[in-house]
């Protein structure tokens, strides 16, 4: 198996374990008979953990599609692996920012991870040059929105 394929597995594990600490740290409030009870997720940290979990599920299909497409089309494997690792590491930091109530950083990290994912996608059709252009444009966008977000989003949210 390639590093990128292991990263696909890692992305699944990441979104699954995002909720585990919230449940483990509140065993008296969590009822496994009703694991999706909205009342359990009213606590701000649990609500953010659930949001990060759902976001992981939402981002996974495009990530998996991009990685598999790049591999099926015989894109340079070292590029697929590198971008897949960059995506996964960025998503890990994204989860920490989400749960840690850092909305500006969270959004910038989401955009950065998406940029790496777009790079993987364009790698399959346009090679390393296409991946660099797509990833670079996405990362520049992430950096460009940072100061804008910092002005419109308070660094601490209520959820």
Report residue 155's pLDDT band, with 50, 70 and 90 as the boundaries. low
Q: Pick 158 or 118 by higher pLDDT.
A: 118
**What is the pLDDT, as a whole number, of residue 153?**
63
pLDDT digits (tens, 9 = 90+) for 20-38: 998 888 888 888 898 889 9
Q: Estimate the crossing angle of helix 44-72 against helix 3-17, to 10 degrees.
A: 160
**What is the pLDDT, as a whole number, of residue 25?**
87
**What is the pLDDT, as a whole number, of residue 88?**
98
Region 110-128: mean pLDDT is 96
Residue 56 CA: distances (Å) to CA of 41, 51, 67, 88, 137: 17, 9, 16, 11, 23
Region 110-136: mean pLDDT is 96
**What is the pLDDT, as a whole number, of residue 148?**
86
117 CB-near residues (< 8 Å, 6+ apart): 59, 62, 63, 66, 83, 87
**What is the pLDDT, as a whole number, of residue 154?**
61
Report residue 159's pLDDT band, with 50, 70 and 90 as the boundaries. very low
The whole-angstrom separation of Cα 83 and Cα 11 is 13
pLDDT exceeds 60 at position 39? yes
Q: Output the pTM of the full model.
A: 0.90
pLDDT digits (tens, 9 = 90+) for 54-106: 999 999 999 999 999 999 999 999 999 999 999 999 999 999 999 999 999 99
């Amino acid at each position: 198996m390639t590093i990128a394929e292991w990263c696909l597995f890692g992305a699944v594990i990441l979104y699954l374990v995002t909720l585990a600490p919230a449940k483990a740290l509140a065993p008296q409030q969590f009822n496994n008979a009703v694991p999706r009870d909205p009342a359990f997720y009213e606590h701000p940290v649990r609500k953010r953990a659930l949001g990060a979990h759902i976001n992981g599920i939402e981002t996974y299909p495009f990530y998996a599609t991009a990685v598999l497409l790049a591999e099926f089309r015989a894109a340079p494997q070292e590029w697929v692996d590198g971008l897949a690792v960059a995506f996964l590491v960025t998503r890990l930091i994204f989860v920490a920012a989400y749960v840690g109530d850092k909305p500006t950083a969270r959004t910038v990290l989401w955009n950065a991870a998406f940029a790496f994912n777009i790079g993987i996608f364009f790698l399959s059709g346009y090679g390393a040059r296409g991946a660099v252009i797509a990833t670079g444009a996405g990362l520049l966008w992430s950096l460009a929105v940072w100061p804008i977000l910092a002005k419109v989003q308070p660094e601490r949210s209520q959820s």
